[in-house]
Structure 1
Amino acid sequence: MNSQEVDRIKAFYRRWEPTYDHGNSGYLRSLDERNMHLKHLLAGFPGLARCRILDVGCGYGDLLNLFHQQGVSADGLVGIDLLPNRIETARQRYPDFTFKEANAEEIDFPDNYFDIVTVFTVFSSILDRNMAHNVARGIMRVLASGGVIVWYDMRYPNPWNRNIRPMTKRRISELFPSFELRLKALTLLPPLARHLGRGANSIHPLLSTVPILRSHYFGLLRPTR
């Protein structure tokens, strides 16, 4: 475990969160688009209601709540996050779910326990290569045979933010070498989306159709063996 990298990640998100306008109309359009694609993806999962779900970097628990809205039982929903304030808020908002303050390098669950593991904008926040590989190994250990990873993360670098590294398909494959990548580009570039102003509802859908303007990869990682 790299304690310096953990401290850097915690410090970055403590500084970043107060400056991010989560009520921005462009941001909300991007969030709605991502959630729509996720719901469509989940519609194809047999036995979803009986699945155990782990959300790595769960934040305030909203992603797990989306799974709950799609029929997953509350006792099958687990979230872990480095930041204690996020975990505290998530527990208050969703008391029937399980939340733990934890480093994903050491996931405190048995092998082959979860049917689905979600990793949304997690690995782009990890600059230390060894830590990234430790987190990936932990995820693979707790993922059930036949389970899947639901992936959403940045594919482009951010020249204004040195705390972010782009997660290209090559880098994803290095972390999960025995997995098939079923990914597509999604999400309008956040700096562009956040500056759409009142025109977000009409302009966002048009700009989102341009492949080069899609900043993230979204989809599934499936074990090949």
Structure 2
Amino acid sequence: MTGDEVKRLQETYSEYLRAGRWRHDSPGHQQMAKERSDAIETLINVWSRPPLSKCRILDVGCGYGNQLGWFNDRGVQPENLFGVDLLPAHIEISRKRYPTFNLIQSNAEHLSFPDYAFDIVIAFKMAENIASEMLRVLKKSGAILWYDLRYPSPRNRSVRAMTRRRISRLFPGTVTQLKSTSLLPPLANGPGRRAPITYPLLAGIPFLRSHYLGLTTATPPIP
């Protein structure tokens, strides 16, 4: 990623923040977050791994640290939780929220960690130019937890849909457990206070789910 591309991404995300484009307090978003959390817990529980409390975890594009906080709530110690993000504003806020986590403002194309350092690497927005670095720092027995759009964005041609084929190309020789999840945002944000009732009904319709949640490993999970 060139310096101009980094600057463009920083400016784009900063503008989204100023405009309040991403709202996390709506009832629909809260239902989406709960659905995703439950799905992540299911994937993690069936993964053959060391005890979660012993895992070292890296979140690539950690944002405000929400996902690292999720793992901390489930017993992962702060010294084993690491996050990197391109935006200084994200790191500043996440450090205030989670002062004991290891949080770094950095371009994820060049991760400052040794090879095979982490049991779990998280990416809630996949990018081809960071896949090799994610694999480099992942233990051979580790897992990549990812969450990304399953449909292209009609408003942004630069957004690419994440598919099983694309994941296989980004992470060759791996196995992916895949689950469609998250109601399309315009529908999720529409019902307001009725979201606890309407969200599960609409999210039960497969083609209305906007994202894939995946767990990618070198070997299949043990049943």
- TM-score normalized by the length of structure 1: 0.91
One-letter amino acid of the structure 2 residue matched with residue 53 of structure 1: I
Runs of 5+ consecutive residues of structure 1 not aligned to the other structure: 127-131
The 5 Å alignment of 1:32-51 reads 32-44=34-46, 45-51=49-55
**Alignment counterpart, residue 184 of structure 1, candidates 171, 179, 199:** 179
Aligned to 2:26: 24
CA distance in structure 1 between the partners assigned to 2:114 and 2:165 by the alignment: 29
One-letter amino acid of the structure 2 residue matched with residue 65 of structure 1: G
**Alignment counterpart, residue 214 of structure 1, candidates 195, 209, 215:** 209
1:175 shift after superposition? 1.0
Matched, 1:117 2:121: yes
One-letter amino acid of the structure 2 residue matched with residue 138 of structure 1: E
Aligned to 2:137: 142
Q: Decide whether the 8 Å contact of 1:51 with 1:114 is kept in 2.
A: yes
One-letter amino acid of the structure 2 residue matched with residue 31 of structure 1: A
Between 2-11 and 111-120, report the one with greater CA deviation.
2-11
Identical counterparts, % of pairs: 46
Matched, 1:95 2:99: yes
Secondary structure in structure 1 of the residue aligned to 2:67 = helix
Give deviations 1:133-173, integer Å, cap 9, x for gaps: x3000000000110000111111112123442211222222
One-letter amino acid of the structure 2 residue matched with residue 73 of structure 1: Q
1:41 shift after superposition? 2.7
Matched, 1:107 2:108: no
CA distance in structure 2 between the partners assigned to 1:136 and 1:21 by the alignment: 28
1:16 shift after superposition? 1.7
The 5 Å alignment of 1:122-137 reads 122-123=125-126, 126=127, 132=128, 134-137=129-132
Give deviations 1:191-217, integer Å, cap 9, x for gaps: 211112222110000111111111111
Alignment RMSD (CA, Å): 1.6
Aligned to 1:74: 78
CA distance in structure 2 between the partners assigned to 1:61 and 1:168 by the alignment: 26
1:60 shift after superposition? 0.7
Aligned to 1:169: 164
Runs of 5+ consecutive residues of structure 2 not aligned to the other structure: none
